[in-house]
Amino acid sequence: MKIVACYKLVPEDRDINVNSDLTLDLSKATWKVGDYDLTAIEMAMRIGEAQEGAEVVLLTYGGDVVTDQKLKKGVYARGPQMGYAVRDNEAFCSDSFGTARVLAAAIDKIGDVDLVVCGEGSGDIYSQQVAPILATLMKRPVVNAVKEASAEGGQLTVKRDLEDAVEVATLPLPAVVSTTSEACKPRIPGMKDILAAGKKEQVVWEIGEVLSDQSALRKEVVNTLSPAQKERARTIFEGIDSLDSFVDALRKVM
Amino acid sequence: MDFSITDEQELLLESLEEWIEGCGFDQRYFDEHWEKAQFPAEYYKALFESPFGKVGLPEEYGGTELDFLTMVLLDEKFAELGRPSLTTTMLNIEDIMMFGSEEQKKAIADKVEEGRLPFALGFTEPQAGSDSNGYACTATRKNGKVYINGHKSFITNASDTDLMLTMTRDFSVEPPVNAMSLWMVPLNAPGVKIEPMHKIGQRMLSMCEVYLDNVEIEESDLVGEEGKGFFMLMKNFEIERVLIAATALGGAKRAYNEAVNYANERIQFGKPIGQFQLIQRMIVEMTAKIKACEAFLYATAWKYDQKESIRIDSALVKYFVTRLANEIADDCVQIMGGIGYTEDSISAKVWRDLRTARIGGGTDEILIHAASRPILKEFAKNKR
């Protein structure tokens, strides 16, 4: 059984500065693996470890940062045997559909993939769309918001938390799933895992090697703006008699 | 000269932060244990089961061998994050791996595996701390057994572990440096009495008086070579002093992080107090001290990894770093003002805990004594 766990490298939130025109300044941002994706990797590992001979591999798509050695060691130390990276200097121009297209092409190139596990959403845009689009492009069944999963006899059994029930579903493999953010706690790598991660293979494909026509990937990003911050009004309404004026004031700002 | 930290070291420190954040022991847990002067046994059990618990233990004993610099970085990070560190275990492992028998090495590795503190260090006595001539604890052979008699003082962790590496003296041998031996003494054996003392800081780790009255042990409990205990003690000190410096620096950084943030947030006279030059001076001095401590500490650990002697450097680095760490903590309390003298302030806790770093493992004064003689001797030999 071959399982692909997908991850995206995203800018560290606390390093993002907002410029005076509300655009985002990422120039000082360090990069990290999206937190939701670490959960997906852990779920892939748990499914894989329960299957004798299963192989868990990683897949990412992004700019030059995909080959950053420290980031690579950090994520490969979470357990997978090896991984693939698709490098594209214009990856930031790709939306969820574009990303799903690249991943679908890469998974096809990897070959014989039984299961793809994605995180709840990316750590930056968080559109939660890549997994379902990917499954549609690959013509495979998909379930999102999975909190537990196990594979047996060519089938995947998943559990999902609904509002007042737990849904148990089975889907035939090959399939695509995305996890909930709290599905499982990512394992913490120790020194042995970190040292071993440095030796694990990462196959790097340039975007052209995966997808010959990239025109559909390129979107023009008009702007990405931070919501305008407003100073607190610090208006205090005292006593029950001021209730009406309090409601009026709320209405004015809403 | 390469001052960079490796990817692996950086990732390991990130892993430690992640473990501490998710390990389930919050500040309240530690505050309660501190208040009750109670050993955080559940935390240590979880820590020993984590990827960090067996650092320093060779692979053949199920551990992860690490270079000393990485161990120092880890120990410092524990303290910076405000969590009890692995100083004792790292030191225990180093001691036993250097001097212990195969059986003793295995026994210590098993204890770490089970999540228990390996052993306490039973060196100091009422009349013998830095003055090794004062040791009075004895080991006497009778009918194929060994009997230990004496009184050990200020013994860290004695009430929370079941073994003590005990220094004894053979009064028939002169000079005293050739008369010392180390024995692993079970603390639950008949004849052992343990009395915890009340400390003003570091309250989660006990400090005890240990009375040994005809405690029967086996010949196989001898650690290392008989009569070489003093030299083993000196080797132990080299490691211990560097690790104490590492935790002191981590603690100082923890207080510093709080105080500098506070300087940016606390408004007086219409502006943050960090805008005032008297506060700025403290911040600048603290920052420079931290950088100097880092450089000296890491260089000493690196030197040990290169198999160079750190006999003098370990004394110098402990003297230098623990003094500056105390000064930093004191400045942090000053910056924090009234709140810095309350139980709610990190700086106050660090200030209280750090004071002992200038005493345990060799006082400032004995470190000066240990380091100054070889420096003067070297100059007398080779004038510069």
- Spatial distance between the Cα atoms of B258 and B148, rounded to a whole number of angstroms: 48
pLDDT, mean of residues B59-88: 91
Q: How confident is the model at residue B103 (pLDDT cuts 50, 70, 90)?
A: very high
- Spatial distance between the Cα atoms of B16 and B80, rounded to a whole number of angstroms: 11
pLDDT, mean of residues B8-14: 96
- Spatial distance between the Cα atoms of B146 and B367, rounded to a whole number of angstroms: 34
Cα–Cα distance list, A24 to A10, A32, A223 (Å): 14, 17, 9
Taking an 8 Å cut-off on Cβ atoms, the answer to whether A191 and B66 are in contact is yes
Strands of A134-227, DSSP E: 142-152, 155-161, 166-172, 175-179, 202-206
Residue B140, both tokens: 């006497």
Partner residue opposite A185 with nearest CB, options B7, B11, B22: B22
Q: A50 touching B, CB under 8 A?
A: no
Tell me: the pLDDT tens digits for B186-220?
999 999 999 999 999 999 999 999 999 999 999 99
| Total number of domains in chain A | 1
- Answer yes or no: is A7 within a domain: yes
Q: What is the predicted pLDDT for the residue at B87?
A: 85
Choose, out of B8, B54, B90, the residue to mutate when testing the contact with A (most A CBs < 10 Å). Answer: B8
The yes-or-no verdict on residue A216 having pLDDT over 90 is: no
Task: Show which residues on chain B lie within 8 Å of chain A, measured between beta carbons.
Answer: 7-8, 10-12, 14-15, 18-19, 22, 50-52, 55, 64, 66, 70
Taking an 8 Å cut-off on Cβ atoms, the answer to whether B14 and A74 are in contact is yes
CA atoms within a 13 Å half-sphere pointing along the CA-CB vector of A168: 3
Taking an 8 Å cut-off on Cβ atoms, the answer to whether A190 and B70 are in contact is no
Taking an 8 Å cut-off on Cβ atoms, the answer to whether B15 and A189 are in contact is yes
Q: How confident is the model at residue A55 (pLDDT cuts 50, 70, 90)?
A: very high
Question: Closest-CA residue in chain B for A69?
Answer: B7
Q: What is the predicted pLDDT for the residue at B57?
A: 86
Q: What is the predicted pLDDT for the residue at B61?
A: 87
- Spatial distance between the Cα atoms of A238 and A240, rounded to a whole number of angstroms: 7
Cβ-Cβ contacts under 8 Å for B193 (sequence gap 6 or more): B210, B211, B213
Residue A194, both tokens: 């970190």
Q: Which of A42-56, A164-178, A222-236 has the lowest mean pLDDT?
A: A222-236
Closest C-alpha among B41, B329, B66 to residue B201:
B329
The yes-or-no verdict on residue A114 having pLDDT over 80 is: yes
Tell me: the pLDDT tens digits for B232-265?
888 888 999 999 999 999 999 999 999 999 999 9
3-state DSSP call for residue A64?
A: helix
- Answer yes or no: is A184 within a domain: yes
Structurally, at CATH architecture level, domain B7-113 sits in Orthogonal Bundle (1.10)
Q: Are strands B163-169 and B180-186 parallel, antiparallel or unpaired?
A: antiparallel
Contact in structure between B127 and B118 (CB atoms under 8 Å): no
**Residues of chain A contacting residue B14, judged by C-beta atoms under 8 Å apart:** 74
- Spatial distance between the Cα atoms of B367 and B223, rounded to a whole number of angstroms: 26
Q: Where residue A11 sits, what CATH number does that domain have?
A: 3.40.50.620
Q: What is the predicted pLDDT for the residue at B89?
A: 85
Q: What is the predicted pLDDT for the residue at B15?
A: 96
Q: How confident is the model at residue A229 (pLDDT cuts 50, 70, 90)?
A: confident
Q: What is the predicted pLDDT for the residue at B2?
A: 84
Higher per-residue confidence, B194 vs B63: B194
Asked if B7-113 and B231-381 have one fold, the answer is no
Contact in structure between B73 and B5 (CB atoms under 8 Å): yes
The yes-or-no verdict on residue A93 having pLDDT over 80 is: no
**Residues of chain A contacting residue B51, judged by C-beta atoms under 8 Å apart:** 188-193
- Spatial distance between the Cα atoms of B133 and A31, rounded to a whole number of angstroms: 58
Q: What is the predicted pLDDT for the residue at B384?
A: 75
- Spatial distance between the Cα atoms of B10 and B120, rounded to a whole number of angstroms: 31
Which stretch of DSSP H or E encloses residue B235?
helix B229-265
pLDDT, mean of residues A13-42: 92
- Answer yes or no: is A148 within a domain: yes
- Answer yes or no: is A31 within a domain: yes
- Answer yes or no: is A249 within a domain: no
- Spatial distance between the Cα atoms of B47 and B114, rounded to a whole number of angstroms: 11
Q: How many CB atoms lie within 10 A of CB A87?
A: 20
Residue A254, both tokens: 């809403």
- Residue type at B212 in one-letter notation: L
- Spatial distance between the Cα atoms of A138 and A132, rounded to a whole number of angstroms: 10
Taking an 8 Å cut-off on Cβ atoms, the answer to whether A189 and B70 are in contact is no
**Residues of chain B contacting residue A181, judged by C-beta atoms under 8 Å apart:** none
- Answer yes or no: is A49 within a domain: yes
Taking an 8 Å cut-off on Cβ atoms, the answer to whether B11 and A69 are in contact is no
Q: A185 touching B, CB under 8 A?
A: yes
Q: What is the predicted pLDDT for the residue at B322?
A: 98
Q: What is the predicted pLDDT for the residue at A231?
A: 80
3-state DSSP call for residue B214?
A: strand
Domain-by-domain residue ranges, chain B? 7-113, 120-227, 231-381
- Spatial distance between the Cα atoms of B43 and B204, rounded to a whole number of angstroms: 11
- Answer yes or no: is A105 within a domain: yes
Cα–Cα distance list, B200 to A221, B34, B138 (Å): 60, 10, 31
Tell me: the pLDDT tens digits for B262-320?
999 999 999 999 999 999 999 999 999 999 999 999 999 999 999 999 999 999 999 99
Question: Closest-CA residue in chain B for A195?
Answer: B8
- Spatial distance between the Cα atoms of B104 and B193, rounded to a whole number of angstroms: 24
pLDDT, mean of residues B326-342: 97
ipTM of the predicted structure?
0.83
- Spatial distance between the Cα atoms of A218 and A211, rounded to a whole number of angstroms: 13
- Spatial distance between the Cα atoms of A209 and A211, rounded to a whole number of angstroms: 6
3-state DSSP call for residue B349?
A: helix
Task: For domain B120-227, give the CATH number.
Answer: 2.40.110.10
Structurally, at CATH architecture level, domain B231-381 sits in Up-down Bundle (1.20)
Q: What is the predicted pLDDT for the residue at B88?
A: 83
Helix axes of B311-336 and B346-354: crossing angle, nearest 10 degrees: 150
The yes-or-no verdict on residue B130 having pLDDT over 80 is: no
Residue A34 domain boundaries: 2-227
Partner residue opposite A190 with nearest CB, options B7, B22, B52: B52
Residue A239, both tokens: 């006593």
B-proximal residues of A, 196-215, CB under 8 Å: 198
Question: Closest-CA residue in chain A for B18?
Answer: A188
B291, B293, B299, B303 alpha-carbon torsion, rounded to 10°: -170
Q: How confident is the model at residue B12 (pLDDT cuts 50, 70, 90)?
A: very high
Strand partners, A206: A87
Q: A182 touching B, CB under 8 A?
A: no
Burial class of residue B189 (count of CB atoms within 10 Å of its CB; 0-12, 13-18, 19+) = middle
Taking an 8 Å cut-off on Cβ atoms, the answer to whether B8 and A195 are in contact is yes
- Answer yes or no: is A53 within a domain: yes
Q: How confident is the model at residue B62 (pLDDT cuts 50, 70, 90)?
A: confident
